[in-house]
Amino acid sequence: MQDLTKGKVGSLILKFAIPLLIGNVFQQLYNIVDSLVVGNFLGKDALAAVGASFPVIFALISLIIGIATGTTIIIAQYFGARDYENVKRAIDTMYIFTFGASIFVSALGIYFTEDIFRLLQLPEDIMPEAISYLRVYLAGMVVFFGFNGNSAVLRGLGDSKTPLYFLIVASILNIALDLLFILVFGWGVASVALATVISQGVAFVSAIIYLNRNHSIIQFSLTKWSFDRKIFAKSIRIGLPSGFQHTFVALGMMALMGLVNTFGTNVIAAYSVAQRIESLAMMFAFNFAMALTSFTGQNIGAGKYDRVKTGLRSTLVMGSMITIGITTIYILFGNQIMELFTPDADVITTGTRYLNIVSPFYIAFTAMFIIGGVMRGAGDTLIPMFLTLFSLWVVRIPLAFILSARMGETGIWWSIPIGWMSGMLLSWFYYLTGKWKSKGVTS
In sequence order, what DSSP letters do the residues of 258-276 get, joined into one string?
Answer: HHHHTT-HHHHHHHHHHHH
Name the nearest CA neighbour of 46 among 171, 193, 204. Answer: 193
Q: What is the pLDDT of residue 354?
A: 97
CA gap 427, 424 in Å, rounded: 5
CA distance 51 to 45: 10
The rounded distance, in Å, linking the Cα atoms of 417 and 412 is: 10
Mark the ranges of the chain whose per-residue pLDDT is less than 50. 443
Distances from the Cα of 399 to the Cα of 391, 402, 405, angstroms:
11, 5, 10
DSSP annotation string for 328-385: HHHHHHHHHHHHTT---HHHHHHHHHHHHHHGGGHHHHHHHHHHHHHHHHTT--HHHH
277: Cα within 13 Å, side-chain hemisphere: 30
Decide if 143 contacts 106 (C-beta within 8 A).
no
Query: Which are the contacts of 82, defined by CB distance < 8 A and separation ≥ 6?
Result: none
For residue 287, the model assigns a pLDDT of 86
- The C-alpha atoms of residue 223 and residue 226 are separated, in whole angstroms, by 9
For the full predicted model, state whether its pTM sits above 0.85.
no
C-alpha 103/C-alpha 91 separation (Å) is: 19
Cβ atoms of 192 and 34 closer than 8 Å: yes
Report, in this order, helix, strand and coil percent for the chain, each rounded to 5: 85, 0, 15
User: CA-CA distance, 334 to 141, in Å (whole number)?
Assistant: 34
Q: How many CB atoms lie within 10 A of CB 216?
A: 7
Give the relative orientation of helices 229-261 and 44-80 as an angle to the nearest 10 degrees.
160
d(CA 26, CA 255): 29
Contacts of 59 (CB under 8 A, 6+ apart): 247, 250, 251, 253, 254
